[in-house]
Amino acid sequence: KPIFLKDYRAPDYLFDKVNLTFELGEDYTTVTSSILVRPSHSGGSPPLILDGAEPKDLELVNVKVNGKALQTGDFERSQKKLTIVSPPAEAYTLEIETKIQPQNNTALEGLYKTSGNFCTQCEAEGFRRITFYQDRPDVMARYTVRIEGDAARYPVLLSNGNLAEQGDLEGGRHYAVWEDPFVKPCYLFALVAGQLTHTEDKFVTMSGKEVTLRIYVQEHNKDKTAYAMRSLQAAMKWDEDTFGREYDLDLFNIVAVDDFNMGAMENKSLNIFNSRLVLATPETATDGDYTSIEGVVGHEYFHNWTGNRVTCRDWFQLSLKEGLTVYRDQEFTSDMTSRAVTRIGDVQRLRMAQFPEDAGPMAHPVRPQSYIKMDNFYTLTVYEKGAEVVRMYETLLGKAGFRKGMDLYFERHDGQAVTCDDFLAAMRDANGADLGTFPLWYQQAGTPRLSITTHYDEAAKTFTLTTKQEVPPSAGQPVKQPMLLPVTVGLLGPDGADLPLSSVNGRPLAGPDGAAPTSTVLRVDQAEQTFTFDNIPARPVPSLLRNFSAPVRLTSDVTDEQLIFLLAHDSDPFNRWEAAQTLARKLMLDLVGKAQKGDTLQLAPAFVAALKDVLTDAALDKAFIARAISLPSQSELADMMAVADPDAIHAVHKFVTRTIAAELRAELQHAVDSNRTRDAYSPDTASKARRALKNTALGYLASLNEADITDMALADFRSSTNMTDQLAALAALAVNPGEARDTALAEFYEQWKGDGLVMNKWLGIQAASSLPGNVAHVRSLLEHPAFDMKNPNKVYALVGGFASAAVNFHARDGSGYEFLAEQVLKLDKINAQVASRMVSAFTRWRRYDDDRQSKAKAQLERIVRTEGLSENVYEIVSKSLEPA
Ligand code: ARG
Ligand code: ZN
């Protein structure tokens, strides 16, 4: 079953031109595909093997070669393939007619229906559910698409490229013909047909070309597209300014649909989005939603160059486009909002979700070496760690060097399907750089452990860092080599200012202006190394791994006092935040040990005092303060324990939260009061920052569960005029059981039951609750009219939300595991991709105690024994059960 990178072979046949005709219908849709096929090399004509789907999903009507129907024996149709046994040795036209039933397609890949409209999702391998094809990204063709459908039911007919022709047909039907002038792999094909309205704007490119921009939505959402449109225009401008990349067609379309497995899809000039990443009004979308919309609209737009113009040779190279495009969207968000706060959020996400993935049974390199189902490899490792790998080039080569590498990459590979090695070669060649062991980042799974010890030599005035790195073993990779890690460091003098770094290991350092820099990038590439800084007048406080310059688990001998000093003074804002987090992690893990022994808990006063200084520092960005006073997540702490103990972690989290709230009550109350405003909602960075601080403070206060705070939250809940504040108040009220909680949830439901996206938030808050015995409540919500098992967003909110609350998912009695297994088995029959995402919550099962392990294992075994299981779920579960 598994497919291996080492087995890659270039295709025997190329497809130069594809003409597709869709006759959309209510009972079935007919697809006629006419392909100009050309042998890729002379000599022999091996069988042409086309990918397809099971007969129940894809009915073959006929096959023709150069206009002549093939007879039995000339072709073979197996379960999922169509083979042309002995095709002509010269170029020829292959014509295939198939019938499909999009209206019954609940997998939401290929052509399917959502809210009565047709839409597609082809990446990674959905095109084979539409027609038989060489469904692989290194087969690139020019497409012409003709769509025919009922004019009343499907007034809007869209595909990639330019509209070439449209008109009416008999019987109330009409048609449109779309031509895409750029070659593309089939995963970038898209079709949309239905009752949609659009908003329109334009963008004038740097060379003066006018591009029409349209966002298509259902009629009732017409007033919710303004922010997405603004984001698109900002993204187009940013890619010109930052990377010199201009848009290449006269039209760019975005379509928002309610049923979508993932976030969004970069189909050439016809991006299709999960509606939660397009639709926004102040009343219905939170600040977080606004930020995501801007980021994802940017992400999909940036794919036009990093993904579409230059695509992947095979799916093992997915990070070539995804890691790079995530890096690009992170940079875009940094430039549009706050760079420091963006970086903090990105690292938090990496730590919370990618580090555990890298330490579990699904651990894989940024470029995986094998897979059973490609859809299982749209992972945090490929996306988020992949973006860190791209960021490391930037750190090693500098911003200008990185840009040179990007320019060369586009120059060399425009119109091609390439590999991660090609990207590396462009970066290396454009800079004449020695990248040493850097390529290992594409081969070795697992998060490197980096430990740093320091020594100050009073007499010699030198400061020495000793680094040790180790890449932990993972499935199939028992032994690993050290890799090149760029480690950015600065040294703080006694006054808190950065010391000039004149030389390291005897090599003089010079900043851009020739003067000694205050930060430098160390190339750490051995198992053990030392770096000695000269001319250090007094014992410094080291600021290590500034801006999180490499995705590693760092330990060091920096003391608690030094961390508090860094929190107060570091010129690198990321490391100020990191200092507070490192300290909090240490203190909390220590408390978890105490809680397990039943000892009384106490929180170090110095920590609370340091948080108070941050909270009351008027010079700091409020969004930064909100992040800096927030505790590490429970999953992050669990990930750091030898045997994760969700109950003790939860107890400690609650204790620390309440202690801080009690000790800093006045300051937190002030943060709430002084940041409440009557101003109309605006999603600008400063306004978002105010709300972030206010709502973080409110969350702390809510933990005290006192009547006056509850009254305040309920009043805020009722008077709020935007979703950010309303939802924050609801979340605060939902922490404590009781009448206020029930009232607020009921009022929220009454107010918003007509809005599916807002209902997902309502489901999510209840599902992810840590209140004891929540599984029963979540079960009852499965029957609620606000829930729908066929809608991925609702499943992610309710089932995914439940699995994210460790105390209930890992409940001692196994009820959480049983619940999840049941839902996975139900889902697997409907939508295997969604089922597979949900079952992934089990992958960490070995991190818990024996009793929990045996209960989780029993559920995994129950799943894997189930007949007719999808490959998607099978892959995750069988890998989870493999001996560690
Ligand atoms: N390329 C899309 C994006 O990152 C995601 C497609 C996900 N598809 C999948 N089958 N997992 O923008
Ligand atoms: Zn992407």
d(CA 815, CA 800): 15
CB contact at 8 A, 532 and 504: yes
300 flagged as catalytic: yes
Band (884; pLDDT cuts 50, 70, 90): confident
pLDDT above 70 as % of the chain: 100
Per-residue pLDDT reduced to its tens digit, 288-331: 999 999 999 999 999 999 999 999 999 999 999 999 999 999 99
Closest atom, ligand 1, to C-alpha of 126: 10
| CA–CA dist 689, 675 (Å, integer) | 9
Kindly state if the Cβ of 264 falls inside 6 Å of ligand 1: yes
pLDDT score for 44: 82
Q: What is the mean pLDDT of the chain?
A: 98
Per-residue pLDDT, averaged over 86-98, amounts to 96
Cβ of 190 closer than 6 Å to ligand 1, yes or no, is no
Crossing angle of the two packed helices 685-702 and 723-734, in degrees rounded to 10: 10
Which runs of consecutive H residues, i.e. helices, occur in 475-572?
Answer: 560-569
Three-state SS for 312?
strand
Q: Which residues are CB-contacts of 173 (< 8 A; sequence separation ≥ 6)?
A: 148, 149, 150, 151
Tell me what pLDDT residue 513 has: 85
Distance 264 CA to ligand 2 centre (A): 8
Residue 734 CA to ligand 2 center (angstroms) comes to 34
Cα dihedral 801, 804, 807, 813, rounded to 10, equals: 80
Indicate whether 854 pLDDT > 90: yes
Find out whether the beta carbon of 331 lies less than 6 Å from any atom of ligand 1: no
What is the atom index within ligand 1 of the atom nearest the CA of 378? 11
Identify which of 261, 265, 274 to mutate to test ligand 1's pocket (most ligand atoms within 8 A of the CB).
265
| Position 777 confidence tier, pLDDT thresholds 50, 70, 90 | very high
Of all protein residues, the one whose alpha carbon is nearest to atom 5 of ligand 1 is: 265
Please name every residue paired with 156 in a beta bridge, in sequence order, or none if there are none. Answer: 194
567 lines ligand 1 (CB under 6 A): no
Q: What Cα–Cα distance (Å) separates residue 619 from each residue in 285, 526, 606, 614? A: 29, 41, 21, 9
Q: Looking at the predicted complex, does its ipTM rise above 0.85?
A: yes
Largest Cα separation within the chain, whole Å, is 94
pLDDT confidence bin for 211, thresholds 50/70/90 = very high
Task: Round to whole Å and give the CA distance between 71 and 76.
Answer: 10
Is residue 90's pLDDT more than 90?
yes
Q: What is the mean pLDDT of residues 524-535?
A: 98
**Ligand 1 neighbour 124 (Cβ under 6 A):** yes
Q: pLDDT tens for residues 436-452? A: 999 999 999 999 999 99
Would you place residue 583 in the very low, low, confident or very high pLDDT band (cuts 50, 70, 90)? very high
pLDDT (tens digit per residue) in 37-78: 999 988 788 999 999 999 999 999 999 999 999 999 999 999
Q: Which of 751, 650, 749, 734 is nearest to 698 (CA)?
A: 734
Q: Would you state the pLDDT for residue 511?
A: 81
Residue 490 scores a pLDDT above 90: yes
Q: Which two tokens stand for residue 128?
A: 């084979």
Helices vs strands, H then E, count in the chain: 28, 33
Supply the pLDDT for residue 66.
98
The Cα 270–Cα 304 span in angstroms is 11
Please give the average per-residue pLDDT across 257-271, as a whole number: 98
Q: What is the rounded CA–CA span in Å between residue 437 and residue 433?
A: 12
**Closest ligand 1 atom to Cα of 300:** 12
Between the CA of 122 and the centroid of ligand 2 the distance, in Å, is: 13
Which residue's entry shows tokens 């009690």? 662
Q: What are phi and psi of 403, to 5 degrees?
A: -60, -40
Of the candidates 95, 125, 148, 300, the residue annotated as catalytic is: 300
pLDDT of residue 366: 98
In the numeric block, which tokens belong to residue 830? 């409907």
pLDDT band at 503 (very low <50, low <70, confident <90, very high): very high
Answer for the pair 812, 819: CB distance below 8 angstroms, yes or no: no
Classify 742 as helix, strand or coil: helix
Q: Judge contact between 832 and 107, C-beta under 8 A.
A: yes
Is 90 exceeded by the pLDDT of residue 351? yes
Instruction: Label residue 514 by pLDDT band (50, 70, 90).
Output: confident
- The reported pLDDT for the residue numbered 39 is 96
Ligand 1 in reach of 125 Cβ (< 6 A):
no
pLDDT tens profile 352-395: 999 999 999 999 999 999 999 999 999 999 999 999 999 999 99
CA torsion through residues 646, 649, 650, 651, sign: positive
Question: Pick from 38, 89, 98: which is nearest to 64 by CA?
Answer: 98
User: 569 CA to middle of ligand 2, Å?
Assistant: 37
Structure confidence by residue, pLDDT tens digits, 538-573: 999 999 999 999 999 999 999 999 999 999 999 999
DSSP 3-state of 652: helix
**Contact between residue 234 and residue 294 where contact means Cβ atoms under 8 Å apart:** yes
